[in-house]
Chains A and B, each alone.
Chain A
Amino acid sequence: MEIGPIWRTMLRNKSSYVLIALQIAVTMALMVNAIAIIQERTRLMGRPTGIDEDNIFTFNSTGFDPNMDFQALVAEDLDAIRNHPGIDNAVMTNSLPIRNGGWGQQFQTEPGTDVESVGTGIYFVDEHGVDTFGVDLIAGRNFTSTEINWFDPESDDMWPSVVIVSAALAESLFPDISYDEAVGKTAYVNSVEPITIVGIVKTLQASWPSWEHIENASLVPQKRGATSARYVVRTEAGYRDEVIPQIEKMLAESYKGRIIRNSKTMTEVRNDAYASDSAMIKLLFFVVSVLIAITSLGIVGLASFSVTRRTKQIGTRRALGATRPAILRYFLLENFLISSVGVATGAILAVGLNMWMVQTFNLTPLAWYMIPSAMLVLWLVGQLAVYGPARRASFVSPAIATRTV
């Protein structure tokens, strides 16, 4: 409507408008990148581990009695746990997904030392592993009880000959065949020891939440350990919290030469794994909110100023025939123009900042829709912020025009 004169007015009074535009631009750059980080972290946190997170808990049994019969104790413990009411299944293993610490190994499709290999997280389990973890077996079979042995440090035993792998690992080892075809294929561990894939689970994450190949994990049929055992227990739905102290007490009393410690539900494991991410998300949300608040308060402040400073002018316009809506529109339009300059500059800043962060901190690049959405949001914020002062302006009486200074 009257963009021309408004624009020319702004050009004559550049500095204060440039300041708001710049403020909007920097706000936008910051907001876009903060939200990009939030999105990225939310995506990371949203990845399923593949196990029955709601009903699983884990704890350690650490023996200190030098005369303990570890293998017998583990068998007794597992028996007792599995028979405890409210419990679905239990297994001894070395770690859990996203627990920050576990066993890693390289798998390869050809034997030899100079061969490309793929990293995988390893969970040593018995035939109850698949059921206890609650992973979804999509091809092949589970381990049989005859395939489970105790690892003997004194022997020259090789690595177990069978393995269950995650679908992601199967794909990176054997990219061009179906899961059913991958079952039965042989991979090599420790460069030369053959292992046959007997089963594939849909999803199973490794133990390190920030590892780039986190979706690569394997179940290996073996029992290991000499003094310390990690148990993973899956309870019937809804019984978890009530069962944990019962199990702790039962095991602590069944044998005094060890301590039961570090009980953690899978929910806690997940919270720990992503504690800094979730903190970062909250922090950034807070930052973005405060930022928008400050910017809009700034707009309110400056617009109020401008209305006060221009009271006489507004009265004159009214006297010359401007309706109230026309005055309102004037200020909204003015703000829209400033915001437009701001968000246009902001778009460039945001992309620049993002490129720098992608380079320096390996963040993911912005999604295409981030820039237009941020523009929309800031336009809207600007209009909302200026609405109050603009409305006040529209109520300036035309009689001001004749009342001298």
Chain B
Amino acid sequence: MFRYYLKLGLLSIRRNPALSALMIAAIATGIGACMTIVNIEYVMGSNPIPHRSDVLYYVQVDSWDPNEAAVDVDRPPRQLTYTDGTALLEAREARRQVLSYMTWRVVEPEDSEQLPFQVQSRSTSADFFPMFDTPFVYGGGWDKSADDNGEYVVVINKEVNETLFGGEDSVGRTVIMNGDRYRVSGVLDTWDPMPKFYDLNNQHFGEVEEVFFPFSVSIAKELSSNGNTNCWKAPDSNGWEAFKNSECVWMQLWVELHGAEEKQNYLAFLDAYAESQKALGRFARPLNNRLNNVTEWMEIEGVVADDVQVLLGLAVLFLAVCLLNTVGLILAKVMRRAGDISLRRALGASRRAIFVQYIVEAGVVGLVGGFMGIAMTWLGLQGIRGLFGQSRMIDHLVQMNWTMILAAIFLAVMAALAAALYPTWRACRIQPAALLKAL
């Protein structure tokens, strides 16, 4: 029986090719628009480190201006001062902690044929690699003693390793940066967290650094941050020492805590620390220390751009228009076939039979629309790439995944069925006798 309805459905679709094409195109465009934007939201808002996101916490303490909150109504500054960052790092009250900031370096290849080149680099304490579970091709991170002793060690990524060492195992070899010689401790494999969750203060979807080296080294070399630096009060005087001791915030601290109790304890520790600073005349604002895990911090930092949310709203309305369009067309189709339906009813078709017949037809339209919608989504994403240009985020976008494809089909069929429901209900209500009176 189902096959009979399927046949009727296909026949009916073929009988009105222009109209069927219009319905399918409407569903496909609506689905395409929605799925394109949903895809963008999905990529932007996806959890970059799902297996660890609830044990990694971003630390904020309120060291800001007594007269004015750092962010919005009453939020603490988004980064830490050198004083607080290093104090909290050294306290080692969490299982692991990593303090870091972004800076630029120039790499001079030993091979004098090659030109020096600039790299984006991150100055960080040793726990960065185990905490964020970074993959290595060769070697690994450095250990805490390297931090403590200010050793010149470096972790480079695959591309830099390719450029400098032709992709060989370079552990133990030397990289020259700004005149200093660093020993390679490890080579990172492709690591592409999306968004770049560990530093949301700068570009949310920025590139992962190419080179990592110890925090203690960059401080000794007096390297300031190439990311955001914010001060509510000028340093007491010029020079590095004054800057280090200033109220300027420029570094990020992540800690690893397992379970609510550890989190409570760490918050208590932060409060105690703030109190101790108050005693020294700092932290004039009320206690306002925060711990947020990866997903919470992404939410707070608004990783999914407002524009995307506006677009999502518009895309949903767009789908609504497409659906209304389809409902109208299917209804018109049903009404035109009122005579046919009435005849079938007179010949003994039950309401259910009519219902199944039209819902199957609509389902077929929806399914085809859904498949076309996937193609449209792909086109949409290509279009987005064309519009927004090449970037790490966009590259992630264009790799559509199965979840999205299934979601698109599901959405399309649901949409088509929803669109078919009302007309089908109307079809069911057509009386067997209507034929006799139909004009």
Contacts and interface: CB of A to CB of B under 8 A. Distances in A.
Do the two chains touch directly in the complex (Cβ atoms below 8 Å apart)? yes
Interface of A: 15-16, 19-20, 22-23, 26-27, 29-30, 33-34, 37, 62, 64-66, 113-114, 151-157, 190-191, 227, 259, 261, 275-276, 279-280, 282-284, 286-287, 290-291, 294-295, 297-298, 301-302, 305-306, 308-309, 312-313, 353, 357, 360-361, 363
B68 to A, nearest CB: 10
Interface of B: 18-19, 22, 25-26, 29, 33, 67, 104, 106, 108, 115-118, 177-179, 233-234, 237-240, 305-307, 309-311, 313-314, 317-318, 320-322, 324-325, 327-329, 331-333, 335-336, 383-384, 387-389, 422, 426, 439
A18 to B, nearest CB: 9
Contact of A151 (B238, B306, B309): B238
Contacts of B104: 62
B238 A294 contact: no
A290 B318 CA distance: 9
A338 B436 CA distance: 31
A20 B328 contact: yes
Contacts of B116: 64, 259
Give me the 10 closest cross-chain CB pairs, A-B, nearest first. A64-B106, A190-B234, A279-B387, A305-B332, A19-B328, A66-B179, A298-B325, A23-B324, A153-B239, A30-B317
A287 B314 contact: yes
Contacts of B317: 26, 29-30, 353
A287 B328 contact: no
A37 B328 CA distance: 29
B318 A30 contact: yes
A361 B306 contact: yes
A303 to B, nearest CB: 10
B179 A15 contact: no
Given A153-B239, A291-B321, A114 B314 contact: no
B332 A294 contact: no
Contacts of B309: 360-361
Nearest to B235: A190
Given A29-B317, A294-B29, A153 B238 contact: yes
Contacts of A302: 328-329, 332
Given A155-B238, A280-B307, A15 B331 contact: yes
B321 A276 contact: no
A191 B234 CA distance: 8
Contacts of B108: 64
Contact of B22 (A227, A276, A297, A309): A297
Given A283-B384, A301-B19, A308-B336, 13 more contacts: A19-B324, A62-B104, A153-B239, A156-B238, A157-B238, A190-B233, A261-B118, A282-B387, A290-B29, A290-B33, A305-B19, A305-B329, A305-B333
A317 B327 CA distance: 29
8 contacts: A26-B321, A275-B388, A276-B305, A284-B314, A297-B26, A301-B18, A301-B329, A353-B317
Contacts of B19: 301, 305
A260 to B, nearest CB: 11
B308 to A, nearest CB: 10
A313 B438 CA distance: 12
Nearest to A34: B314
A151 B331 CA distance: 77
Contact of B324 (A22, A190, A301, A313): A22
Contact of B238 (A20, A27, A154, A360): A154
B321 A294 contact: yes
Contacts of B118: 62, 259, 261
Contacts of B335: 16, 305, 309
A118 B196 CA distance: 33
A301 B327 CA distance: 12
Contacts of B117: 259
Contact of B322 (A64, A154, A294): A294
Contacts of A33: 314
A276 B314 contact: no
Contacts of A312: 439
Given A62-B104, A287-B33, A19 B331 contact: yes
Contacts of B324: 19, 22-23, 26, 298
A309 B67 CA distance: 74
A276 B383 CA distance: 13
Nearest to A157: B238
A143 B320 CA distance: 61
B332 A361 contact: no
Contacts of A154: 238-239
B329 A156 contact: no
Contacts of A363: 310
A287 B318 contact: yes
B314 A64 contact: no
Contacts of A27: 321
A30 B311 contact: no
Contact of B332 (A23, A26, A306): A306
Contacts of B327: 19
A268 to B, nearest CB: 12
Nearest to B232: A106
Contacts of A290: 29, 33, 318
A279 B18 CA distance: 33
Contacts of B115: 259
B388 A301 contact: no
Contacts of A157: 238
Contacts of A114: 67
Nearest to B333: A305
A283 B387 contact: yes
A357 B314 CA distance: 11
B329 A276 contact: no
A291 B318 contact: yes
B29 A301 contact: no
Given A23-B321, A62-B106, A151-B238, A313 B311 contact: no
Nearest to A271: B389
Contacts of A190: 233-234
A64 B178 contact: yes
Contact of A301 (B305, B313, B332): B332
Nearest to B319: A26
Contacts of B18: 301
A261 B120 CA distance: 14
A282 B336 CA distance: 40
Contacts of A309: 332, 335-336
Interface centre among B22, B240, B333 (most CB of A within 10 A): B22
Interface centre among B177, B234, B389 (most CB of A within 10 A): B234
B358 to A, nearest CB: 15
A143 B3 CA distance: 87
A357 B306 CA distance: 10
B307 to A, nearest CB: 6
A157 to B, nearest CB: 7
A7 to B, nearest CB: 19
A23 B325 contact: yes
A63 B291 CA distance: 39
B325 A295 contact: yes
Contact of A65 (B26, B179, B234, B321): B179
A301 B314 contact: no
B336 A64 contact: no
Contacts of B310: 37, 357, 361, 363
B404 to A, nearest CB: 19
Given A20-B328, A361-B309, A30 B333 contact: no
B240 A153 contact: yes
A377 B19 CA distance: 25
Interface centre among B331, B384, B426 (most CB of A within 10 A): B331
B321 A66 contact: no
